[in-house]
Chain A
Amino acid sequence: MDQLELLKKDWKKQESSLPKLSREALTKLIYKKSSSIVKWIFIISVLELVIPNLPYLFMDHGKTLKFSEELGLTNFFSIFYIAFYAIIIFFIFKFYKNYRSISANSNPKELMQNIIKTRKTVKYYIWFNLTMVPIIASVVFYKTFNSPDFLEKLPEDTSMFMVWSIAFVFILIMIGLVWLLYKLIYGILLNKLNKNYKELVSNGVA
């Protein structure tokens, strides 16, 4: 007999040794706490959606307004914020829609696709926030570095190139830190899923 046929035959015989749970035991089981990966993805994603905008809530808006007036950036910031929050609302809507489509009722391929889609939305959202950092920082730095106040305080022999370089390194470090954290969290959470997805959909010769 082919060995795999033998295995199949034995597999059927194994059925008699399977545990049998009573209805009471099963009822208790279904109300236990789930340790599903989706719950974690949801919690972390919501944190990611909220955290980048948290500093804004704690800012002294009067001071910020004065500051942007001094730099002549009031118009820039008004337009910027409207666009910024419109985009964020769009992201949150997308995330919610994708999240709702995650269901154990779909087949494994669809399920994995939907989780990956949800993650991608949040990933784009983070990239969006990360690209905003250098844009805003450059505008603010540019205006600040050219304001008379700043130039007065600067020691005479400082080169502007040095000032810009420090600002640039500072921005890079911030982006790097966020990126690292992101990779770490999802490396742990999604490695298995990504691997399985690739294996399921690929048809390459191993």
Chain B
Amino acid sequence: MTKELEHKFVLDLEQNQNIVHKVCRIYTNNQDAHNDLFQEISIQLWKAYPKFRGESKFSTWMYRVALNTAITLYRKSKRTIKTQDFDSVLFKVESTEYDDIEEEQLKILYKTIHHLSDIEKALVFLYLEDKNYKEIAETMGITEVNARVKMNRVKNKLRNILNP
């Protein structure tokens, strides 16, 4: 039974691991920390899995558990404290598609995101994942109005940094 459950879970996790990696990118700024958080989210997902009864989509449930772990449950282990400039490691924004100004703007935006609070990071993440206000409200456990207000505030914060 457990083996069966484990097999099913690992399959689901493998297919949806992008979600976890993306949460790690928002919340950590070096590869060590990324791996550490990825591990903790995977453990929490596995621990919560027997209670996941398919009342929502697997991916929706994953967003919730992953954000819970990043915001509340996860405690940084000592070995990941050393920091490194993230943009050189995790985000590669050099692309022929962008002009110099756009490239610079993207770098500033990613850098700014890393200085946001845990809650603001969650909101930006859900925005980038194209979630609507209803989904954001459900994922975070707040009202839709509250989600809207908070989202506008954090969006303005990002815009103001680029256009002081």
Residues in chain A within 8 A of chain B (CB atoms): 3-4, 6-8, 10-11, 13-15, 17-23, 26-27, 29-30, 32, 34-38, 40, 103-112, 115, 192-193, 195-196, 199-201, 203, 206
Contacts and interface: CB of A to CB of B under 8 A. Distances in A.
Nearest to A18: B21
Contacts of B25: 14, 18
Nearest to B9: A30
B73 to A, nearest CB: 5
A8 B69 CA distance: 24
Contact of A27 (B10, B40, B158): B10
Contacts of B158: 3-4, 7
Interface of B: 6, 9-11, 13-14, 17-18, 21-22, 25, 38-40, 42-48, 51-52, 61, 64-65, 67-69, 71-75, 77, 91-93, 95, 102, 105-106, 109, 117-119, 122, 127-128, 130, 138-142, 145-146, 149-150, 153, 155, 158-159, 162
A53 B80 CA distance: 39
B142 A109 contact: yes
B161 to A, nearest CB: 10
A112 B72 contact: yes
Contacts, number: 150
Contacts of B146: 203
Contact of A108 (B92, B109, B122): B122
B9 to A, nearest CB: 8
B13 A109 contact: no
A35 B105 contact: no
Contacts of A26: 10, 13-14, 17, 42
A107 to B, nearest CB: 3
A196 B47 CA distance: 23
A9 to B, nearest CB: 9
Contacts of B44: 34, 36, 104
A138 to B, nearest CB: 41
A13 B45 CA distance: 26
Contacts of B150: 203
Contacts of A23: 10-11, 14
A108 to B, nearest CB: 5
Contacts of B9: 30
A159 B153 CA distance: 66
B14 A21 contact: yes
A35 B75 contact: yes
A166 to B, nearest CB: 43
B98 to A, nearest CB: 8
B130 A8 contact: yes
Among B10, B92, B117, find the residue whose CB has the most chain A CB atoms closer than 10 A.
B10
Contacts of B91: 14
A104 to B, nearest CB: 4
B65 A8 contact: no
The 10 closest A-B pairs by CB, nearest first: A109-B141, A107-B141, A30-B46, A11-B128, A18-B21, A104-B48, A36-B73, A34-B43, A104-B65, A29-B42
Given A36-B43, A37-B73, 4 more contacts: A4-B127, A14-B91, A109-B142, A192-B118
A112 B119 CA distance: 12
Contact of A29 (B43, B52, B72, B141): B43
A6 B105 contact: yes
Nearest to A201: B142
